[in-house]
Structure 1
Amino acid sequence: MRQTLLAGGRLGLVLLALQAAPVVAQSVRFTAATAIANESAGTISIPVAITNSGAASTVQVALVTNLGTATQGTDFTYPATQTLYFPAETTVNQTLTIPLTDDVLAEGAEYFTLRLQNPTNATLTAGSTEVLVYIRDNDTQAPTQTRNLTLNRLGSYQNGAAGTNSAEIVAHDPTTQRLYVANSVGGKLDILSLANPAVITSVASINIASYGGINSVAVRNGVVACAIENADPQQNGSVVFFDQNGAFLKQVTVGALPDMITFSPNGQLIVTANEGEPKTDYSVDPEGSVSVIDFSGGIAGVTQASVTTVGFAGYNSQAASLRAAGVRLYGGTSASPSSVAQDLEPEYVAVSADSRTAYITLQENNAIATLDLTTRQFTSLRTVGYQDHSQAGFALDASDQTPEILMANWPIRGMRQPDAIAAFEVAGQRYLLTANEGDAREYNALNEINRISESAYVLDPTVFPNAALLKNAQVLGRLNVTNKLGDTDGDGDFDEIYALGGRSFSVYNASTGALVHDSGDLLERVTSTDPTYGAIFNASNTTGNPSRKNRSDDKGPEPEGITTGTIRDTVYAFVSLERIGGVAVFNVNDPGQPKLVQYVNNRSTTTGTGDQGPEGIVFIAPANSPTGQPLLLLANEVSSTVSVYSIQGRGVLSNKAARNAEPLHLYPNPSQGGKVQLSRAVSGTLHDVLGRPVRTLHKAREFETVGLATGVYVLRAEDGASSKLVVR
């Protein structure tokens, strides 16, 4: 009897223990946050897992309608919510099989989203209730390259050891056939001979350290002008002049942190973009500015009185209207915000062919300023606008964590933030080209960068109900974005997502600022489909071995340098890609529809060799070339190399035909009487409207119009160029 009681007592204790133990509910989840399939696969299988087996259970799988670009019934088949059944006592995954349509449309990667809902006898695993399914297109072809021009690399000059030297900016002087290289890492001005473009040789190397830090260089007729930042970068910088051999000539003071320098086409002016960056704690924040140096009397006439530095203080009272117009103004600290003049940071300058107008990119501010070089006054300050990456033609590869290149559309806006700018003219209309690299402010007192996945970057739950999925590393979680734009209602979370850089180049009407063309996702499509360089798509420009896609979560290929060149009757744009490397060439005779000509690169896809980090880019017209053929120079900052490409057209370009490509501009035009300046020395004849010769020129850079009747005239140069002149 006692044993029975003991046994019964033990059984009771066990039953009590079982009743007291917590019951672990069954839980269902997607096994991954993303899935990828080629559209030609026919189907894609999506596994759903269950844990803690118990009673039979079910879960519904619904199509999410607010996060997807693929179309149900066209790209895939999922007509209604489906139910998955899990038998009792099972931990076996259930698989949802979804038919895919292999269409014949060339399109980017598309995606759709599924959600688990309404479970029975189970719960949903938090954070694993949605899956984003990518469909990779198999019909997209590489963008067509017309190849009516061919760039052939003649060689790359190693400008000192990479890492301890650099080749950031290069300038060419046709009077000496020398190159002048801004070696900012080495603190030197390097002088090279281009007499034989295939074998560049060193002439001299000038230590710049005693003047400050070299940022840029320009040259004209043997006079070399260097933009030099102060040893204390927040103080005023300088322009230091050297002769063709590097002997010091003069030095004048300009604004803080001169970052770029250029001569006007007529050689009468020198212009610097003075960035005026703050100290990292914002204890000192100099004003951005543009300095204009009167060089009309040559180097002999240059004194400090020749320098006019123009700031933006006149815009200080317009901060609210500028922000409303799209100009980014956000510098400083909450206790001491920057003024407009302090916030604007000039990056790069382009001067019009008539040397009367300068166009200045304000990269961090996403804007362009226009400066009248006659009055030394700013005449406009305009935003360059934003990309809409949800629209066709503006896709991007947004993650460095996906194994495949997925050029897809997303609810993201891209800040164009142009670096280099160039001006060109077609049919009498002036246009601007910008390389939309992107840049962020990263200081101790102000850091505008967040990854979307960071907890500090809160997406508005109403606008982004799928925020948890978007924050996944294989979706948008790794993408770097700004925290200074997107909180449209001021409640502390982000209603819009703004990424850094446009990953494109743009064309603008110079007079109105209107956008004429944006290349959208073309540069990423060109590089991703390149038979060689697709292997290092969106790789960084670091000196180590390239890592494919490791810049997809940043700014992609980062177009940085841009210039134009005219060959025969065609204007070409050359765009350098700082990260993956190389240069893309476009025919811009129709500025609204540029045509891709060629993409070339000279970087190893397996080792850290070749040309890396192209920044400075120079087109050498045939008349200025040592070979009589057009050339293109790239200054590759990271590899510290200067690469030279010959440019060949279909058929042989004779010297005369090549010279015809050199533009000829007259100014002032119209002329009110007096002297008319020429953009270059010309021998030729000025004809009236009836074709009669009225002036004969011999290697002239100017001529007199006094005595000419009111009317239209045409100057025809011996090399075939011509230009119309209106006399009033």
Structure 2
Amino acid sequence: MTYRLCCLTSALALIAGMAHADAFNRISSFPTHLNIGEGDQNVETSAEIIAATDDGMTLVYTDSPLGVIGRIDITDPANPAPLGNVNVGGEPTSVGIVGKIAFVGVNTSESYTDPSGRLAVLDVESGDELASCELPGQPDSIAVAKDGSFVAVAIENERDEDLGDGRTGQLPAGALSLVQITDGIADCDTLINVDMTDLAEVSPEDPEPEFVDINSGGDIIVTMQENNHMVVVGRDGAIKNHFSAGTVDLDGIDATDERGALLFAESQSALPREPDAVKWIDDAHFSTANEGDMDGGTRGWTIFNADGTIVYDSGTSFEYAIVQAGHYPDKRSDSKGVEPESIETATFNDTPMVFVGAERASMVGVYDVSDLANPTLMQLLPSGIGPEGYVAIPSRNLLVSANEVDLIEDGGVRSHVMIFEYSDADASYPMITSAGADDLIGWGALSGLAAVDDNTLVAVNDSFYSYQPTIFTIDVSQTPAQITEATPVTRGGYPAQKLDMEGIASDGDDGFWVASEGRIDRMVPHAIYHVAANGEIDAEIGLPNALLGVQKRFGFEGITVVGDTLWMAVQREWEDDANGMVKLVAYNLETEEWGAVLYPLETPETGWMGLSEIVARDDYVYLLERDNQIGANAAVKQITRVSLDQMVPAPLGGELPVVTKEFVRDLIPNLTATGGYVLDKVEGLTFTPNGTAYVVTDNDGVDDHSGETMFFALEGLDD
């Protein structure tokens, strides 16, 4: 029994062969709070819209929470350095650059009904303001002509979503402002406003221009997202063409929020595209990211001809590729899916490319658009949380993403700018995918791992997918590793409930032992289950009173088999454990006796320490020990081992022996090998019979997480 979706196209198999020469790979990540310098860095920062100086050596991004533009030195792109922030006296919304002069849209509005803004002109190196042009309203997007002759500003005058049922039809109306550039400086006296009312079928009296771009001939393309409309404007301000962005019918999508399952079997019809970002591909064609707002969002992207005809629409193919990479955001699934929001276009090595940013999935799709009617998805790149803006620097073979989400208040990862390099190298991501499987397999939140043979592993997902507990079969003979099958874990033929599967081990036959971590507050018990090869639970082992009386939330995080004994690693201290000591619990399948030993944890400087996995190999049990920290705060992500001759369980309720652990491997170098920040949840470890170890991280179901899953092999751990 597997989750199925029929009628998949051959495009869904593209990621299976994604490792190839000439690829983008992330080479560095820059946390934006470093630009604060010696000030308090424990405040929210955000990288949103980003641009580069003409020489490609300096990045400039807007930071709305701080009211600044941030600058980054990328002379060495593998080691970006902070150049500090520049206060712009309002909310920066967009930035464009000519040479080393930045043109910044600044929102100074006092209210939705009294919008205002300005165009600030800044010297990137010194931060000095060279000019300031008052704008007729709230600026959203900025584009600079390729010849540096003028700048276009989308004056959105966005609606108040708390009024009028959040609909458009709230004045004052938006417009398009054009300002000439003389000697590199905006000439404010040349500002003209292009009236965009009475064009769209949706709220013609209230256009809300969202995004602008300018082609080499000086034509401006404008998206009016909420109005589901596109406008082509000449450099003189004359409207050359306008048309509806149209609608799309979608089949085979997941359109239900917080169901705890990835089920792509629903449909939505006549969805307005409601495009957000737009970029010209050439002087006659442009691409849009169809994020949606009021009524739409088609989960994909589109190529238009300037005459309004559609050349290509991705339909569900972009979203399906993201599903297969494990980045589908189930908790925000109802209307926008992966939420394509950003678009960048550029030519690398004579190949015209479109880069599509999926905000909710935190991924970047790289498309070869040599054939505009049949784009080819070349790669999917991992980004930080909430990619908002991109800039391509073909002269340096670089692509840069600005990721706006900063989880400082929740102790999570910070906002980042990430740099990717295009080179003669294999793609390093994704490391694991379900592309190439016979059916569409959605996956995420991988926890426990176990080996079946030298080429086959199994993994389980945790309680994030509470209505879809699954055992995934993984072929590790391929690169990237391929999920080939998803077997639902069932009771009586229905998806099993009240499970939080955190560990899995082979029973030596065709079935598995699964450790489930309990949640007392949710009536989820700590327990051990035997699962048959078809996924059906055919036996349950509940905890004895000696453990139930001292239980806490953080329970079994791994399970392994040593002879007739099951060994489970408890993640954190329970009520009767001394600080820094956690139980390794034993259950003898023959005698049904329980016992335990104590394992000494490292002492964390920040947060807490715990165990994530246990696996027996030869004369040892190996364990994953980690702190709960992420990014620069992460200090301990390691593999240790304990000799089996110490694994002699004492009866529960009495004094337990303390084992001696041996350090085996620091995993932080592996976790930073792809240029990203250190992920917090290293969850799965196993050995194949030939001695190769595999490690996997848990992506939390892409909930306040970038969705990135790292899956890698380690050699020589048992030497």
CA gap 1:178/1:230 in 2 versus in 1, 3 angstroms: same
Distance 1:620 1:298 in 2: 21
Residue 27 of structure 2: aligned partner: 154
Alpha carbons 2:258, 2:332 under 8 Å: kept: no
Deviation for aligned residue 1:154: 1.1
Q: CA deviation at 1:646?
A: 0.3
Is the aligned partner of 1:225 residue 2:103? yes
Asked if 1:571 corresponds to 2:355, the answer is: no
Cα deviation 1:457-476 (Å, max 9, x = unaligned): xxxxxxxxxxxxxxxxxxxx
Cα distance between partner residues in 2 of 1:643 and 1:278: 32
Residues in 1 aligned to 2:141 and 2:315: alpha-carbon distance in whole angstroms: 27
Other structure's SS at 2:267 match:
coil
Letter in 2 for 1:637: E
Question: Counterpart of 1:516?
Answer: 311
How far did residue 186 of structure 1 move? 1.3
Pairwise CA distance, 1:415: 1.8
Q: Could you tell me which residue of structure 2 aligns to residue 435 of structure 1?
A: 289
* Residue in 2 that maps onto 1:305: 189
1:648 corresponding residue in structure 2: 423
- Residues 638-717 of structure 1 aligned to structure 2 (within 5 Å): 638-639=405-406, 640-649=415-424
Equivalent AA in structure 2 for residue 636 of structure 1:
N
Contact in 2 for aligned 1:213/1:231 (Cα 8 Å)? no
1:344 aligns with one of 186, 190, 207: 207
SS, match of residue 352 in structure 2: strand
Question: Does the 8 Å CA contact 2:106/2:119 hold for their aligned counterparts?
Answer: yes
Shift of 1:372: 0.9
Take 1:248 and 1:363, find their aligned partners in 2: how far apart are those partners?
Answer: 32
For the 8 Å contact 2:300–2:314, the answer to whether it is kept is: yes
- Identify the residue that residue 251 of structure 1 maps to in structure 2: 132
Matches within 5 A, 1:143-292: 147=20, 149-160=22-33, 164-175=44-55, 177-209=57-89, 212-233=90-111, 234-244=114-124, 245-279=126-160, 280-281=162-163, 285-292=171-178
Superposition pairs of residues 494-513 of structure 1, within 5 angstroms: 500-510=296-306, 512-513=307-308
Q: Which string of whole-angstrom CA distances, capped at 9 and with x for unpartnered residues, describes residues 265-294 of structure 1?
A: 111011111101245547972221111110
Q: Give the conservation status (yes or no) of the 8 Å contact 1:584–1:599.
A: yes
SS in 2 for 1:520: coil
Match of 2:248 in 1: 387
Structure 2 residue identity aligned to 1:349: V
Alpha-carbon deviation of 1:174? Answer: 3.1
Residue aligning to 1:295: 181
Q: Which residue of 2 aligns with 1:80?
A: none
The 5-angstrom pairing of residues 27-106 of structure 1 reads 38=2, 106=7
SS at match of 1:591: coil
**Take 2:131 and 2:72, find their aligned partners in 1: how far apart are those partners?**
22
1:221-268 residue CA offsets vs partner (Å, 9 max, x unmatched): 111111011232533311011112211111001231100112111110
Match of 1:593 in 2: 374
Q: How many residues align?
A: 403
Separation (CA, whole Å) in 2 of partners of 1:363 and 1:162 = 34
Contact 1:106–1:140 under 8 Å retained in 2: no
Deviations 1:502-558 (CA, angstroms, capped at 9, x unpaired)? 100101112x1101111111122111112xxx1x422xxxxxxxxxx1011131111
Give the AA of the match of 2:401.
L
Identity %: 27
CA contact (8 A) 1:162 1:638 kept: no
Question: 3-state SS of the aligned residue for 1:290?
Answer: strand
Conserved? CA contact 1:255–1:276, under 8 Å: no
Secondary structure of residue in 2 paired with 1:404: coil
Q: CA deviation at 1:297?
A: 3.6
CA distance change for structure 1 residues 557 and 274 in 2, over 3 Å: closer, same or farther? same
SS across alignment from 1:305: helix
Kept in 2: contact 1:230–1:236 (CA 8 A) = yes
Pairwise CA distance, 1:377? 1.5
| CA distance, structure 2, for counterparts of residue 167 and residue 520 of structure 1 | 29
DSSP 3-state at the match of 1:387: strand
Could you tell me which runs of 5 or more consecutive residues in structure 1 were left unpaired when the two chains were aligned: 1-36, 41-69, 71-104, 109-138, 330-339, 441-481, 483-499, 539-548, 603-610, 652-728
In structure 1, distance between residues paired with 2:303 and 2:268 = 24
CA distance in 2, matches of 1:216, 1:616: 9
RMSD of the TM alignment (CA)?
2.7
The residue that corresponds to 2:387 in the other structure is 614
2:118 and 2:133 in contact (8 A); partners too = yes
- Note the alpha carbon deviations across 1:103-128, whole angstroms, 9 max, x for none: xx6549xxxxxxxxxxxxxxxxxxxx
Say yes or no: does 1:353 pair with 2:209. no
Q: What is aligned with 1:366?
A: 228
Deviations 1:130-161 (A, max 9, x none): xxxxxxxxx97565665554111111100015
Q: After TM superposition, list the pairs within 5 Å mapping 1:386-465 onto structure 2.
A: 386-390=247-251, 395-425=252-282, 430-440=284-294
For residues 549-564 of structure 1, the aligned pairs below 5 Å read 549-564=330-345
Q: Deviations over 1:388-440 (max 9, x none)?
A: 124xxxx3111234443222352523221111111112xxx721100011112
User: Structure 2: any 5+ residue segments left out of the alignment?
Assistant: 34-40, 407-414, 427-719
Residues 149, 518 of structure 1: CA spacing in aligned structure 2 closer, same or farther, 3 A cutoff?
farther
TM-superposed deviation, 1:576: 1.0
2:322 counterpart SS class: helix
Q: Distance in 1 between matches of 2:12 and 2:380?
A: 18
Asked whether the equivalents of residues 12 and 320 of structure 2 are also in contact (C-alpha less than 8 Å), the reply is no
CA contact (8 A) 1:145 1:596 kept: no
- Looking at structure 2, the residues matched to 436 and 404 of structure 1 have their Cα atoms a distance apart, in angstroms, of 24
Q: For residues 550 and 216 of structure 1, do their structure 2 counterparts lie closer, same or farther at Cα, with a shift above 3 Å needed?
A: same
User: What is the CA-CA distance between 1:182 and the residue it aligns to?
Assistant: 0.3
TM-score using structure 2 length: 0.53
SS at match of 2:355: strand
The 1-side partners of 2:50 and 2:419 are apart by: 11
> Could you say which structure has the larger radius of gyration?
1
2:239 corresponds to which of 378, 397, 411: 378
SS across alignment from 1:405: coil
Conserved 8 A contact 1:219-1:225 = yes
Return the alpha-carbon distance in structure 2 between the equivalents of residues 230 and 207 of structure 1.
Answer: 13
3-state SS of 2:331 partner = coil
8 A Cα contact 1:149 1:597, kept in partner:
no
Q: Is the 8 A contact 2:30 2:416 kept in 1?
A: yes
Taking structure 1 as reference, are residues 236 and 650 closer, same or farther at Cα in structure 2, changes over 3 Å only?
Answer: same
SS in 2 for 1:524: helix
Give the residue type in structure 1 aligned to 2:365.
A
Q: Structure 2 vs 1, CA of residues 412 and 636 (structure 1 numbering), >3 Å: closer, same or farther?
A: same
Check whether the contact 1:142–1:525 (CA below 8 A) recurs between aligned residues: no
Structure 2 contact 289–356 (Cα < 8 Å) conserved? yes
Structure 2 distance, partners of 1:613, 1:190, is: 18
Q: 1:140 to 1:509 in 2, by over 3 A?
A: closer
Distance 1:162 1:140, change over 3 A: farther
Give 1:303 shift: 3.5
Output the TM-score relative to the length of structure 1: 0.52
Check 1:555–1:163 CA distance in 2 against 1; reply closer, same or farther (3 A cut). farther
